Amino acid sequence: MSESLSAIVVAAGRSQRMGFDKLLTPLSGRPLLFHTLDRLLRTELPSEIILVVRPGSEAEMQAVVAPLNEKGQIRLVPGGAQRQDSVQAGLQAVSDSSEFVLVHDAARPFVTRELVDVVLAAAKLSDAAVCGAPCSDSLKEVAEDGLVTQTIDRSKLWTVQTPQIFRTSLLREAYEVALKSGATFTDDTAVVEKIGHPVRIVLYNGINLKVTTPADWKLAEAFLRLGDAESGPGMVLRKYLHDMNNHLTPLLGYAYLLANEFPEESRQRKFATSIQTSSERCQVTTADMQKLVRELFPRKTE
């Protein structure tokens, strides 16, 4: 799987809404870009990462990449004026042997193996896939004077994120058409939709924050600090869940043995069976909680 998946990380923006170069600024002790690349490498899925950077920033970006690039997986290429120009530059650098290509925002530092797996599985079905979630806020169309002109039905609307994964040949074809059309795109799935190819969207409820505003910066810093600290909530939750499992396993065994000691319809048999059922449900809940903790507070080895 990893041999056929390449990744393009778009890091050529100017952080205008943030007011400073967010990708190179330390966030919880490391540059924001470092966190994104580190998490992507931890998935162990892409065989190569093409980092598209702003021309003139190569030396600074290389300094961030150096501690992560032991296997030479990360290659830098200069980007363009628009996002679509940068993705096109990244596509040109992707290996010809790549079957699928993943496009990801450098400012989304919470990518996980689970997230990439689910989007890749959808891309294998439809050749183009993106993660997202149904719109939860009310949507308004607003005129230049600040007055609402209409309320938009949100029932069929989703917000989309990255990673977005495509069959490499499809995305290359779509971008060739896009360049000839002269149209401007801010989303890679829109480029594919333009040539009439359907895109599959998959629900993702995990943390996949894009750091765009100062408020996002503070929130991302809190998540990273809590997740990486050995004494933080992640480690505490892991310990509690581990202890809970250690208690549930013998309880489940005792309940099973006890139930078999009594007649089928006796009150004692029903009571023991009830304990057994409750223990089984607790084990399922604990497993779900452990999965969530691994996603929110991943260790370096996960």
Convert the pLDDT of each residue in 147-157 to its tens digit.
999 999 988 89
What is the Cα–Cα distance from 12 to 56, expressed in whole angstroms? 10
Q: Is the pLDDT of residue 245 over 80?
A: no
Q: Is 49 strand, coil or helix?
A: strand
Query: Which of these ranges, 182-186, 243-247, 295-299, has the smallest mean pLDDT?
Result: 295-299
Q: Is the pLDDT of residue 213 over 70?
A: yes
| pLDDT value, residue 14 | 74
Around Cβ 34, how many Cβ atoms within 10 Å? 20
Q: Is the pLDDT of residue 108 over 80?
A: yes
User: pTM for the full model?
Assistant: 0.75
Residue 100 contacts residue 166 (beta carbons within 8 Å) = yes
| pLDDT value, residue 231 | 46
* Mean pLDDT taken over the chain: 87
Q: What tokens appear for 90 in the block?
A: 């990244």
Q: What tokens appear for 66 in the block?
A: 């150096």
Q: What tokens appear for 54 in the block?
A: 């702003």
Q: Is the pLDDT of residue 65 over 90?
A: yes
What's the whole-number mean pLDDT along residues 176-184? 86
Closest CA to 8 of 85, 66, 118: 85
What is the Cα–Cα distance from 31 to 37, expressed in whole angstroms? 10
Q: What tokens appear for 25 in the block?
A: 């600024």
| pLDDT value, residue 234 | 65
Q: Is 44 strand, coil or helix?
A: coil
Residue 46 contacts residue 7 (beta carbons within 8 Å) = yes
What is the Cα–Cα distance from 215 to 228, expressed in whole angstroms? 20
Query: Which of these ranges, 76-80, 202-206, 224-228, 287-291, has the smallest mean pLDDT?
Result: 224-228
pLDDT classification of 277: cutoffs 50, 70, 90: confident
The pLDDT > 70 percentage for the chain reads 91
Which value, in Å, is the radius of gyration of the alpha carbons in the chain?
A: 24
The pLDDT > 90 percentage for the chain reads 52
Residue 65 contacts residue 50 (beta carbons within 8 Å) = no
What is the Cα–Cα distance from 114 to 17, expressed in whole angstroms? 30
Q: What tokens appear for 281 in the block?
A: 């449900």
Residue that wins the pLDDT comparison between 252 and 129:
129
Q: What tokens appear for 257 in the block?
A: 């043995």
